């Protein structure tokens, strides 16, 4: 499924001109970040490079990938390997001499993604026109979603509040007051109270079910993302349709994998808890 | 009368055996439920994080266990199993310890070579910021582990109970043949 999507993506890319080709490059940066982190954490677990390369996302391939596992610190990683790739500009905040252990890898991943998202947002905004009208709300939602998920998953871990705040992307609606309040939250109830000030997100949090029966926050966010991506197709002559198409195809793949797992584990009642795409 | 005492003992042993069997069955049902829950939570985590983020790429091919199963002798001479954190020193045990590394099927005795330092949480193999479903999966599997160990102890107790029952039935038969 992924190979088919990759084939379609490359087809679009090969037929594109500026600024669409830069837009496509921005889209692939997200996958490149995931691949770099996969390779670095695989090296930590002493996995062979060949296995890891086979599992990398095809949309995020770049020629220097095989050399990623030789680096011990983020500075080495940048200077030795990634300086020639499109990821180079996102390393501004990430240069440090700390060795790449599990905590630092996670921090690196989130900082890279934050820089990438902000750069992508600025690119869309500068492009103006319908693209900005469609893409900017989508990217703002993505930034806020990351802030919520980072906060939720960091409860009970060794990540400090200041370190957490440094990982939040600043191109969303929550910046700056919401992010500051979110950084101080210590449990889900406090997060909900922060969200009460934002009309867009309040109904999403209210839709989250309790315990194992209802929807999780990630499900609710995926649903909202699907709605926004579907609306991108109602306008014409903008780059956002390619982004929306790719994201909706990914959601389809997630749904198919979920259904397959439910069948293999014989949980037929749970099959219908996927997110339908109209 | 010896026969009456023997019969009373037989009855109480039978009742205890039936009680143990019922408990074993309920623990088995609970274990199945925990394991199912654990696998479903893993699928949910895969849905949230991406299929390649929760899989064999994240763990090393050789891993150190966080918990061990230790054997000890109970008062009636039966073996009892308990779950012990790897590296935890028990104050009563003196001399070489008997530690068993738990495998999926059966138990193997391997002498412990050295004391482990505080073992890292396996949850960190998947990153520091893991979704709630992955934590739930870990909790389900940990509960399942405790249930499996309890079931093993109970199974030994049941086997002992059955052999006692057979022994008592033989004795009663002898007594009745002698009286007749």
In this predicted structure, the answer to whether residue A168 has a pLDDT above a threshold of 80 is yes
d(C-alpha A70, C-alpha A54), whole Å: 18
Kindly report the length of chain B: 180
Average the pLDDT over A157-162 and give the result. Answer: 81
CA distances from A174 to A65, A85, A114, A147 (A): 35, 31, 14, 9
Residue found under tokens 């309920």: B26
What gap in Å lies between CA B21 and CA B40, rounded to an integer?
A: 29
Residue, of A6 and A103, whose pLDDT is higher:
A6
Spatial strand order of the sheet with B79-85 comes to B79-85, B67-73, B99-102, B107-109
Residue A27: is its pLDDT beyond 90?
Answer: no
- Global ipTM: 0.81
Average pLDDT of the segment spanning A170-183: 85
Average pLDDT over chain A reads: 82
The tens digit of pLDDT for each residue in A125-148 reads: 888 788 888 888 899 999 999 998
Give the A window 135-154 contacts with B, CB below 8 Å: 149-150, 152-154
Tell whether A67 lies on the interface with B, counting CB pairs under 8 A: no
pLDDT given for residue B100 in this prediction: 36
Residues B38 and B137 sit within 8 Å (Cβ to Cβ):
yes
With beta carbons less than 8 A apart as the criterion, state whether A36 and A82 touch: yes
Minimum Cα–Cα distance from A260: chain B residue = B43
What ranges do the domains of chain B cover? 26-54+67-86+129-167
Provide DSSP, A240-267.
Answer: HHHHHHHHHHHHHHHHHHHHHHHHHTT-
CA distance B56 to chain A (A): 10
Q: How far apart are CA A191 and CA A219, in angstroms?
A: 17
Q: How many CB pairs under 8 A join A and B?
A: 72
Which is higher by pLDDT, B33 or A155? B33
Judge whether residue A122 has pLDDT over 80.
Answer: yes
Per-residue pLDDT 10s for chain B (180 aa) are 678 888 898 999 999 999 999 999 999 999 999 999 999 888 888 888 877 777 776 776 677 777 788 888 877 777 788 877 776 544 443 333 333 333 444 344 443 344 444 567 777 777 778 888 888 899 999 999 999 999 999 999 999 999 999 999 998 888 888 887
Parallel, antiparallel or unpaired: strands B107-109 and B79-85: unpaired
Q: Does B124 touch chain A (CB under 8 A)?
A: yes
Q: Which of B135, B133, B139, B144 is nearest to B34 (CA)?
A: B144
Number of C-beta neighbours around residue A67 at 10 A: 14
CA atoms within 13 A of residue A212's CA, in its CB half-sphere = 14
Nearest Cα to B128, choosing from A158, A64, A168?
Answer: A158
pLDDT at A184 over 80: yes
Q: Is A109 helix (H, G, I), strand (E, B) or coil?
A: helix
Task: State the best of B120, B122, B127, B134 to mutate against chain A, taking most chain A CBs within 10 Å.
Answer: B127
Q: How far apart are CA A117 and CA A112, in angstroms?
A: 9
Query: In chain B, positions 80-119, which contact chain A (CB-CB < 8 Å)?
Result: none
pLDDT digits (tens, 9 = 90+) for A213-241: 667 888 888 888 888 888 888 887 778 88
Mutate which: B35, B36, B38, B47, vs A, most A CBs within 10 A: B47
Tokens 């199912």 correspond to: B36
pLDDT one-digit tens code per residue, A250-265? 888 888 888 888 888 8
8 A C-beta contact, residue A45 and residue B59: yes
B120: which DSSP letter? P
* Lowest-confidence region among A4-13, A35-44, A174-183, B110-119: B110-119
């Amino acid at each position: 499924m992924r190979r088919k999507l990759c084939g379609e993506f490359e087809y679009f890319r090969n037929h594109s001109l500026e600024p669409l080709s830069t837009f496509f490059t921005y889209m692939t940066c997200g996958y490149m970040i995931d691949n770099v982190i996969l390779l670095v954490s695989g090296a930590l677990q002493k996995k062979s490079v060949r296995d890891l390369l086979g599992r990398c996302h095809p949309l995020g391939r770049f020629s220097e990938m095989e050399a990623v596992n030789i680096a011990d610190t983020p500075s080495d990683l940048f200077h030795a390997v990634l300086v020639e790739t499109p990821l180079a500009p996102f390393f501004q905040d990430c240069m440090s001499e700390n060795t790449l252990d599990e905590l630092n890898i996670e921090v690196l991943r989130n900082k890279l993604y934050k820089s990438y998202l902000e750069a992508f947002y600025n690119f869309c905004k500068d492009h103006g026109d319908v693209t900005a009208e469609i893409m900017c709300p989508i990217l703002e939602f993505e930034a806020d979603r990351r802030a919520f998920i980072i906060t939720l998953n960091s409860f009970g871990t060794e990540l400090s509040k200041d370190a957490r705040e440094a990982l939040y992307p600043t191109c969303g609606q929550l910046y700056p007051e919401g992010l500051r309040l979110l950084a101080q939250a210590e449990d889900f109830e406090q997060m909900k109270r922060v969200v009460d000030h934002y009309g867009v997100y309040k109904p999403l949090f209210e839709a989250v079910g309790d315990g194992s029966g209802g929807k999780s926050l990630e499900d609710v966010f995926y649903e909202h993302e699907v709605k926004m991506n579907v609306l991108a197709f109602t306008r014409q002559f903008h780059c956002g349709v390619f982004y929306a198409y790719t994201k909706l195809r990914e959601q389809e793949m997630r749904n198919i994998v979920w259904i397959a797992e439910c069948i293999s584990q014989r949980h037929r009642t749970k099959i219908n808890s996927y997110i339908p795409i109209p | 009368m010896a026969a009456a005492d023997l019969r009373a003992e037989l009855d109480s042993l039978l009742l205890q055996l039936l009680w143990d069997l019922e408990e074993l069955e309920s623990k088995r049902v609970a274990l199945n439920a925990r394991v199912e829950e654990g696998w479903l939570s893993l699928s949910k985590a895969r849905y949230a994080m991406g299929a390649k983020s929760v899989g064999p790429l994240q763990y090393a091919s050789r891993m150190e266990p966080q918990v061990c199963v230790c054997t000890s002798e109970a008062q009636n001479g039966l073996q009892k199993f308990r779950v012990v954190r790897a590296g935890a020193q028990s104050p009563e045990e003196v001399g070489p310890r008997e530690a068993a590394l738990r495998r999926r099927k059966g138990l193997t005795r391997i002498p412990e070579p050295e004391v482990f330092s505080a073992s890292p949480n396996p949850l960190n193999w998947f990153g520091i910021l893991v979704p709630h479903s992955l934590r739930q999966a870990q909790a389900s599997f940990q509960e399942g582990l405790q249930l499996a160990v309890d079931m093993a102890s109970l199974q030994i107790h049941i086997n002992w109970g059955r052999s006692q029952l057979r022994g008592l039935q033989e004795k009663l038969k002898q007594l009745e043949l002698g009286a007749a």
